[in-house]
Amino acid sequence: MSDLKGIPALFMRGGTSSGPYWNAKDLPADPAQRDAVLLAALGTTDGLSDEVDRAQLGGVGGATAVTSKTAILSRSEVEGVDIDYLFAQIDLERPFVDTNPSCGNILSAVGHAALEMGLIEASDPVTSISIRNTNTNALMEAVLETPGGRWSYLGDVRIDGVAGTAAPVVMNFLDVVGSKTGALFPTGQRMEEINGLTVTLIDVAVPMIWFRAAELGLKGDETKTELDDPTLLQRMEAARLIASERMGLGDARGKVVPKMGIASPPRGTGHVTSRYFVPQSCHPTHAVTGSINVATAATQPGTVVSEASTAIALSSQQFVLEHPVGVIAVELAYRDGADGPEFDKAGVMRTAKKIMAGEIFVPEALLI
């Protein structure tokens, strides 16, 4: 009899990220015990000690920030909501599981995963799934094509950063402002100074600090490899830590929120060039939540992003941002309110794929 125990899981690609998707009932309810299981499953540790394997050879993690992610699903008990979704970022450098942020790319496959797990039934010809992100308590809607109640992964939609095409997944973010702080501009300012750098601190879908490319000695269209420069990252990190305190998020050391971005004018047909950080390295493409953040920041005069953007401030528009390997488009719908803009939704087209279904094995002792 083995001293390892298998836990049912789906391994899926969501947008430009990938990782295991779990039914919450199959994981320990205790957060500390659950996190030990996740560390072992992804392979950062064996779950029994704090010894770290950066390569994640003992698990299903891909040894990068965008492939060391996971999602936990359950039927929601909230009226009008179908699925509760908890996102977890598995650290590569230490035995730590961060459930503070959300992830729009991993979210892209939550609808399909919920159907695969039998947590929701498909409709004909489309299935709209209301999802509550329990990390931030934000609401979103996933719209999948399900003709005859049958869902598909194959289609003709292409997203930059993923080879080939796949079936469309429309992600409508319904509650985007003040995801962690409760305010669009947590400090009450649209532009301020930190360590001699002009920044914008804004909380839409995810709290972020935005930098001007030129003030960092950059053009703004550098590659991920060029931006993963330790000196640059240390300078940005120092500002991020101060920004976190100003935004009321506390000490951000060892945490991934707030995220960081660098804005500069577009080079092609987009509205702005963006480089998104996760945060200790540059994202190879762009986060979905980060794209909603940059699109919203571009609509607000007086921000670091808006001064670099060519977008016209319309109440409903498609905003296109340029990232290291292409573009991502965000459909914004908002109106002016007494206390600032009121966003009805922010929509993003993504794709998803089921890669594997089975069991992931962890030490049985972790489940006792």
Instruction: Report if residue 128 sits inside a domain.
Output: yes
Within a domain: 230: yes
One domain for residues 122 and 199: no
Is the domain of 164 the same as that of 258? no
Query: Are 140 and 274 members of one domain?
Result: no
21 shares its domain with 122: yes
Supply the mean pLDDT for the chain.
94
Contact between residue 36 and residue 365 where contact means Cβ atoms under 8 Å apart? no
Residues 114 and 197 in one domain: no
Q: Which of 8, 18, 123 is CA-nearest to residue 352? A: 18
**pTM of this prediction?**
0.83
User: Do residues 326 and 210 both lie within one domain?
Assistant: yes
pLDDT of 57 above 80: yes
List of residues 6+ apart from 105 with CB closer than 8 A: 14, 15, 16, 17, 66, 287, 288, 350
In a domain, 26, yes or no: yes
Residue 175 has pLDDT above 90, yes or no: no
The pLDDT value given to residue 340: 65
Are 242 and 332 found together in one domain? yes
Q: Is there a domain that residue 174 lies in? A: no
One domain for residues 262 and 153: no
Interatomic CA distance for residues 6 and 231, integer angstroms: 43
Mean pLDDT for the stretch of residues 318-333: 91
Contact 244, 332 (CB under 8 A): no
Output the six-digit token pair for 86: 């908890």
Identify whether the C-beta of residue 40 lies closer than 8 Å to the C-beta of residue 367: no
What does DSSP say about strands 17-23 and 4-14: parallel, antiparallel, or unpaired?
antiparallel
d(CA 111, CA 145): 11
Whether residue 272 is contained in a domain is answered as yes
Quick: pLDDT tens for 58-113. Answer: 999 999 999 999 999 999 999 999 999 999 999 999 999 999 888 999 999 999 99
Question: How many domains in the chain?
Answer: 2
Residue 182 lies in a domain: no
Burial category of 337 from C-beta neighbours within 10 Å (exposed 0-12, middle 13-18, buried 19 and up): exposed
Asked if residue 176 is part of any domain, the answer here is no
Residues 265, 272: contact at Cβ < 8 Å? Answer: yes
Task: Read off the amino acid at residue 199.
Answer: V
Give the domain CATH number at 22.
3.10.310.10
My answer on whether 94 and 220 are in the same domain is: no
**Residue 197's domain spans which residues?**
192-341
Could you tell me the two tokens for 173?
């973010």
Q: Does residue 67 share a domain with residue 215?
A: no
One domain, residues 362 and 299: no
pLDDT > 70 in the chain, percent:
97
Per-residue pLDDT of 303-320, as tens digits, reads 999 999 998 765 556 899
Q: What is the mean pLDDT of residues 39-58?
A: 97
Q: Is residue 322 part of a domain?
A: yes
- 268 with 127, same domain: the answer is no
pLDDT number for residue 315: 55
